[in-house]
Amino acid sequence: MRPSLSDNIGVRHGAWGEEVAVRYLQARGLVIVDRNTRPLARDRRLEIDIVAYEPPTDTLVFVEVKQHKRFSPWQRRLRSVDSNKQANLRQVCNGWRRKYKWDGGYRLAVLEVYGTPESGESFVDYIEKVDIFTPKARRVSWT
């Protein structure tokens, strides 16, 4: 018999982390616009965890949620958002903006949730602006 998704501890912890993230963002005044969306028809693997709107700044916030079992002061922030993940996030966020014709301000935030549903406790590290949209270098095509 094949196990269900709810039997997968990683999926269960990730869903719990996203619920913690939604409550945290709403408490900060953000409006949740979309969740677990895959805007690119050509690559359904690429997903945005949370799309939120920040009314005071008229800004769309793409939120990547990372759930970790425990917090360690020796681990660097954003350790789960490597260069490949950044490229995927850039692609999917720009795809969402094109699909819904959003031409206003936007940014990426990463919300790291430490804890597990079994512990009932969580610690949130909210990194409000992660700069992945500014090109570091321009490529020149000589052809």
Write down all domains in the chain, each with its CATH number in brackets. 5-130 (3.40.1350.10)
Task: Assign 20 a pLDDT band (cuts: 50, 70, 90).
Answer: confident
DSSP string covering 33-53:
EEEEE---TT-TT--EEEEEE
Residue type, 119: S
The span from the CA of 3 to the CA of 64, in Å, is 27
In this predicted model, what pLDDT tens digit does every residue of 92-141 receive, in sequence order?
Answer: 999 999 999 999 999 999 998 887 767 777 788 888 988 877 665 444 44
How many Cβ atoms sit within 10 Å of the Cβ of residue 17? 24
The pTM of the full predicted model, rounded to 2 decimals, is: 0.80
- Extract the tokens encoding 69: 């079992």
- CA–CA separation, 89 and 108 (whole Å): 9
Q: What is the DSSP string of 48-88?
A: EEEEEEEGGGTEEEEEEEEEESS--TTSPTTTT--HHHHHH
Q: What value does the mean pLDDT of the chain take?
A: 80
